[in-house]
C-alpha cells in the first residue's frame, strides 16, 4: 500500500491527539514501525505501537475516561476494568477514533527491563517534526534486526540507519541486541 501525504497527516494527527492526552497522565514511548514512518519511510500502516508506564487502576481509569471524552474508543471493551485487566496480563489493547476503525493505537504497559531501557533512552526525534516521545533509533534498529526480522522490519531498520547515519551509535545497537537475546529470545 502506498502512503500519501494525507495518510501521514492523518497518522500524525491521530498520534499527536492521543499522545497529548497520554502526556497528562503517564509517560509513553512510540515504538516500531511508526518511528520509521515518522522519519520519512514511505510505507503503509494501520497502527501505531505505544508503550506506557504501568499505572494503578484509578489513574488508568482517569486516562481512559479522558480518551473517551476526546472521541477515542477501546476496541476490546468499553469498561476500564476489563481494559486494565488486558494490560496487566501483558496484552495490548487498541484504541481508535470513535466510528473510525483505522488508524489504531496499540497500547501496552511496560513489561520488562527492555521496555524500561526504552524509556531510559526515549527522545523527541527532530526529523519527525513532531513533539512526541519515541524510543531511541538504536533500540528500534536492534528490535527490527534481531527480534522482528520480517522484510518490512529489515527495510525499516535500513531506513533508520540511512536517515540517522550521523547520529546512531552502533555500540548501543549491539548492546540492545544482546539484551534482546538475553530477555526476549
Does residue 120 belong to any structural domain of this protein?
Answer: yes
Q: Where are the beta strands (DSSP E) in the chain?
A: 28-31, 47-52, 72-74, 93-97, 104-109
Phi, psi torsion values for 29, nearest 5 degrees: -140, 140
- Number of domains within the chain: 1
Does residue 163 belong to any structural domain of this protein?
Answer: no
pLDDT at position 118 over 80: yes
pLDDT at position 19 over 70: yes
Residue range of the domain that includes 91: 5-136
Which strands, in side-by-side order, build the sheet including 72-74?
28-31, 47-52, 104-109, 93-97, 72-74
Does residue 161 belong to any structural domain of this protein?
Answer: no
Render pLDDT for 64-112 as a digit per residue (tens, 0 to 9).
Answer: 999 999 999 999 999 999 999 999 998 999 999 999 989 999 999 999 9
Does residue 33 belong to any structural domain of this protein?
Answer: yes
Does residue 169 belong to any structural domain of this protein?
Answer: no
Residues pairing with 134 in the sheet: 30, 123
At CA 152, angle to CA 170 and CA 141, rounded to 5?
Answer: 15
Does residue 150 belong to any structural domain of this protein?
Answer: no
CA distance 8 to 34: 10
Render pLDDT for 133-180 as a digit per residue (tens, 0 to 9).
Answer: 999 999 999 999 999 999 999 999 999 999 999 999 999 999 999 999
Does residue 111 belong to any structural domain of this protein?
Answer: yes
Residue scoring higher pLDDT (185 or 94): 94
Does residue 178 belong to any structural domain of this protein?
Answer: no
CATH number at residue 50: 3.30.460
Amino acid at each position: 500500500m502506498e502512503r500519501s501525504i494525507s495518510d501521514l497527516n492523518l497518522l500524525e494527527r491521530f498520534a499527536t491527539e492521543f499522545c497529548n492526552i497520554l502526556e497528562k497522565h503517564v509517560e509513553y514511548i512510540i515504538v516500531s514501525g511508526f518511528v520509521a514512518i515518522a522519519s520519512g519511510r514511505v510505507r503503509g500502516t494501520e497502527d501505531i505501537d505505544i508503550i506506557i508506564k504501568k499505572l494503578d487502576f484509578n489513574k488508568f481509569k482517569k486516562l481512559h475516561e479522558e480518551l473517551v471524552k476526546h472521541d477515542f474508543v477501546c476496541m476490546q471493551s468499553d469498561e476500564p476494568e476489563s481494559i486494565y485487566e488486558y494490560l496487566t496480563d501483558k496484552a495490548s489493547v487498541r484504541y481508535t477514533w470513535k466510528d473510525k476503525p483505522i488508524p489504531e493505537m496499540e497500547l501496552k504497559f511496560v513489561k520488562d527491563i527492555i521496555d524500561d531501557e526504552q524509556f531510559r533512552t526515549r527522545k523527541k526525534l527532530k526529523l519527525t517534526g513532531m513533539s512526541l516521545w519515541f524510543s531511541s533509533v538504536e533500540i528500534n534498529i536492534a528490535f527490527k534486526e534481531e527480534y522482528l526480522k520480517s522484510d518490512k522490519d529489515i527495510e525499516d531498520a535500513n531506513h533508520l540507519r540511512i536517515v540517522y547515519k550521523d547520529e546512531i551509535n552502533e555500540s548501543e545497537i549491539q548492546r540492545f541486541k544482546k539484551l534482546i537475546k538475553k530477555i526476549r529470545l
